[in-house]
A and B are shown apart, each in its own frame.
Chain A
């Protein structure tokens, strides 16, 4: 899970000592580039270049050992018309997104609300609930997860459910639960958002006779909607790219019976197990486009339900 940058508060304006000589624009730009260079270098060599190469590879047949062979759009046509497993992986991913994202965002919101109203021990609980997000991305937790949900594992022993990870109908849920459990990042963002809501709005609502629920629906939700939207977009993008939990919980196979074969797992399978890097690259590009499209749709719908307080001022 990527960490979310919380914008730093604007630097306090300091009274700078008068510069001995005013620097030219060119000099200042030069300095900026020097400071930016680590990032620019990293972004271009480690991100941009591989992306360009992968775009090229997506039009080739490349098994990693022999030089790539140009095949035009064949990878794409094969994907859409001849590969039933591809479509199964798409369905699996969509199911996963639809289950995991709302659950995670809702849980994050509920916990954030509970934390906000706490009088004591807030810091402790905030850290405690955030901890899974730090741990959850690690392989070891995912392996523990597999053990917990395996036959003879904790859940089996407590509930007598058998091994979820070996049941096609349940395996994806145990993967989704691992993601939901890592609700720390959206929770912290919600908390920050909740604290931004002016107290007088609640006071005014209370004076008007609004109960807790009414306050939540009429004050909290609209005021929080930009943050809610932000979390929704971020978690959706991440959910489309889920890999580690599915990989570890299914012991690297996407099983049982392809039930946890999410998109990136199938991409990995094509690329690194079956050595069809061209096909895997094509899959990656389709995923990028789909995520872009889904995000665009979310932004479009946001106009009707996201309320920006600053707009209201105008």
Chain B
């Protein structure tokens, strides 16, 4: 019998070898047929953002017929891991979307191009200098912020109103929030909100409301195990009462709106970033609304305007100029701005922001209105998180898993986290 297979086997072996050879040609910075320049551009986001980004990219390709842009996107957790592997392998995409947490690590690791080298095509004069500075590491502009975002309590308007619970209001505190989710759970039979205990961002808001910060100025840990234990005790109690989502739901969070309890129809509200919440509209067509994050007991606001999503160019790109042109287009082109709307937060180019403000519609307008309602009430953002924070975000979720599955007490888990965090920040 084996004798009959030999021919087929050889043919498939040859085919396999050919595939390997062909695949090997598809690397970064290669030119494609007809002298075209091929760029790779990757981001994370929801399908709404993807659709608009594709449209903007198509327009860019029309304006620059010699450039072809290959795009790819995924949810944040998956994106973070994939980019880390690509970046360390020297195969980072030509143009990549970056989070505030990644800038420090990627810049000091030599992954990112110094954008000043391309200032002839990449203009940044119309971006607020303070905001622009958030993309600088040691005085070098490695990335440009694409927008600013802030956290929000996003909720299913109809379900909340039907429950007859007073709507969230400006300046509500964590106690008010807890009372609201308890009431929602009682009247609807569903948890009022996603358990925010696993969310490092929510913890930061809570912590800032108490006048503390995640990290100190020199990149050390800005809080104690007691602080964290208090937060986790607070959320864990709500979970035991059924006021926030159970562990089985919470553990499925992966950065996409679809896998949140709100997105799965298992809760009334969620804590999320404002712009990505547009993804909920596809799931909850009856309408969602954005409310401010709860403040500290004395009214200290914890949330802040964070430079959301930076654009950076790979230091290894073979097409620095074209990459910079794409970045410039996404930031400064009026048509691109109209297509992109607020899918990555409100535009950073001030002229464009003013020009397009009146044209924003649907959810873009919701986000813009939400941000302007907070204007002037928030405290300054913290400086860029230290390198280790990138990994700590996952550690935070994991350690809270131990709490919500009742395998550790909030105190034990908090001690664990602080130990791990200190080791991570030291190395």
B81→A256 contact, CB < 8 A: no
Q: Interface SS of chain A: helix, strand, loop or mixed? A: loop
Q: Which residues of B contact A274 (CB under 8 A)?
A: 391, 394, 424
A257→B407 contact, CB < 8 A: yes
Q: Which residues of B contact A8 (CB under 8 A)?
A: 2
Residue A33 is within 8 A (CB to CB) of chain B in the complex = no
Task: Give chain A's interface residues, CB within 8 Å of chain B.
Answer: 8-9, 61, 63-66, 84, 151, 162-163, 166-168, 251-253, 255-258, 269, 272-276
- Report which residue of B390, B397, B427 has the largest number of chain A beta carbons within 10 angstroms of its beta carbon: B427
A255→B398 contact, CB < 8 A: yes
Contact of B401 among A65, A255, A275 (CB under 8 A): A255
Task: Give chain B's interface residues, CB within 8 Å of chain A.
Answer: 2, 77-78, 81, 84-85, 88, 105-106, 108-111, 247-249, 251-252, 254, 387, 390-391, 394, 397-398, 401-402, 404-405, 407, 416, 424, 427
| Given A252-B77, A258-B402, A273-B252 contact (CB < 8 Å) | no
B401→A64 contact, CB < 8 A: no
**What are 22 A-B contacts defined by CB distance under 8 Å?**
A8-B2, A63-B427, A64-B84, A64-B88, A65-B88, A65-B109, A66-B109, A151-B248, A163-B248, A252-B77, A252-B81, A256-B251, A256-B401, A257-B251, A257-B401, A257-B404, A258-B398, A269-B394, A272-B85, A273-B84, A274-B424, A275-B105
Min distance, Cβ B413 to any Cβ of chain A, angstroms: 10
Min distance, Cβ A70 to any Cβ of chain B, angstroms: 14
Contact of B81 among A61, A151, A272 (CB under 8 A): A272
A160 and B365 alpha carbons, distance in the complex (Å): 43
Q: Which residues of B contact A163 (CB under 8 A)?
A: 248
A276 and B395 alpha carbons, distance in the complex (Å): 14
Q: A66-B109, A275-B84 are known; give 10 further A-B pairs, CB within 8 A.
A: A63-B109, A64-B88, A65-B105, A166-B249, A166-B251, A251-B252, A251-B254, A272-B84, A273-B81, A276-B427
B248→A167 contact, CB < 8 A: yes
Q: A-B pairs with CB below 8 Å: how many? A: 77
8 tightest CB-CB pairs across the interface, nearest first? A65-B109, A64-B88, A274-B391, A166-B248, A257-B405, A256-B251, A257-B401, A168-B405
B427→A256 contact, CB < 8 A: no
Min distance, Cβ B292 to any Cβ of chain A, angstroms: 30
Q: Which residues of A contact B248 (CB under 8 A)?
A: 151, 162-163, 166-167, 256
Q: Which residues of A contact B108 (CB under 8 A)?
A: 65-66
A275 and B391 alpha carbons, distance in the complex (Å): 8
Q: Which residues of A contact B88 (CB under 8 A)?
A: 64-65, 275
Q: Which residues of B contact A66 (CB under 8 A)?
A: 108-109
A275 and B110 alpha carbons, distance in the complex (Å): 15
A151 and B397 alpha carbons, distance in the complex (Å): 20
A272 and B87 alpha carbons, distance in the complex (Å): 11
A252→B78 contact, CB < 8 A: yes
| Given A64-B88, A163-B248, A166-B251, A253-B398 contact (CB < 8 Å) | yes
B111→A61 contact, CB < 8 A: no
A65→B247 contact, CB < 8 A: no
Q: Which residues of A contact B387 (CB under 8 A)?
A: 63
Q: Which residues of A contact B390 (CB under 8 A)?
A: 275
Contact of A65 among B111, B252, B427 (CB under 8 A): B111
Contact of B391 among A9, A84, A168, A273 (CB under 8 A): A273
- Report which residue of B88, B106, B404 has the largest number of chain A beta carbons within 10 angstroms of its beta carbon: B88
Q: Which residues of B contact A252 (CB under 8 A)?
A: 77-78, 81, 254
B110→A65 contact, CB < 8 A: yes
Q: Which residues of A contact B249 (CB under 8 A)?
A: 166
Q: Which residues of B contact A253 (CB under 8 A)?
A: 251, 254, 394, 397-398
Residue of A nearest to B402 (CB): A257
A205 and B225 alpha carbons, distance in the complex (Å): 71
Min distance, Cβ B236 to any Cβ of chain A, angstroms: 14
Min distance, Cβ A306 to any Cβ of chain B, angstroms: 27
A163 and B264 alpha carbons, distance in the complex (Å): 14
Residue of B nearest to A261 (CB): B398
Q: Which residues of B contact A273 (CB under 8 A)?
A: 81, 84, 391, 394
Min distance, Cβ B283 to any Cβ of chain A, angstroms: 15
Q: Which residues of B contact A167 (CB under 8 A)?
A: 248
A257 and B413 alpha carbons, distance in the complex (Å): 11
Residue of A nearest to B405 (CB): A257
A61→B78 contact, CB < 8 A: no
A242 and B77 alpha carbons, distance in the complex (Å): 22
Residue of B nearest to A61 (CB): B427
Residue of A nearest to B259 (CB): A251
Residue of B nearest to A162 (CB): B248
Residue of A nearest to B388 (CB): A274
Q: Which residues of A contact B391 (CB under 8 A)?
A: 273-275
A163 and B84 alpha carbons, distance in the complex (Å): 31
Residue of B nearest to A163 (CB): B248
Min distance, Cβ A96 to any Cβ of chain B, angstroms: 18
Q: Which residues of A contact B247 (CB under 8 A)?
A: 166, 256-257
- Report which residue of B2, B106, B251, B254 has the largest number of chain A beta carbons within 10 angstroms of its beta carbon: B251
Min distance, Cβ B83 to any Cβ of chain A, angstroms: 11
A255→B84 contact, CB < 8 A: no
Q: Which residues of B contact A257 (CB under 8 A)?
A: 247, 251, 398, 401-402, 404-405, 407
A167 and B404 alpha carbons, distance in the complex (Å): 11
A166→B252 contact, CB < 8 A: yes
Min distance, Cβ A233 to any Cβ of chain B, angstroms: 25
Q: Which residues of B contact A276 (CB under 8 A)?
A: 427
A172 and B247 alpha carbons, distance in the complex (Å): 17
Residue of A nearest to B17 (CB): A38
A168 and B407 alpha carbons, distance in the complex (Å): 10
Min distance, Cβ A89 to any Cβ of chain B, angstroms: 12
A250 and B427 alpha carbons, distance in the complex (Å): 28
Min distance, Cβ B295 to any Cβ of chain A, angstroms: 32
- Report which residue of A64, A163, A167 has the largest number of chain B beta carbons within 10 angstroms of its beta carbon: A64
Residue of A nearest to B82 (CB): A272
Q: Which residues of A contact B251 (CB under 8 A)?
A: 166, 253, 255-257
Min distance, Cβ B90 to any Cβ of chain A, angstroms: 10
Contact of A9 among B2, B81, B405 (CB under 8 A): B2
Q: Which residues of B contact A256 (CB under 8 A)?
A: 247-248, 251, 401, 405
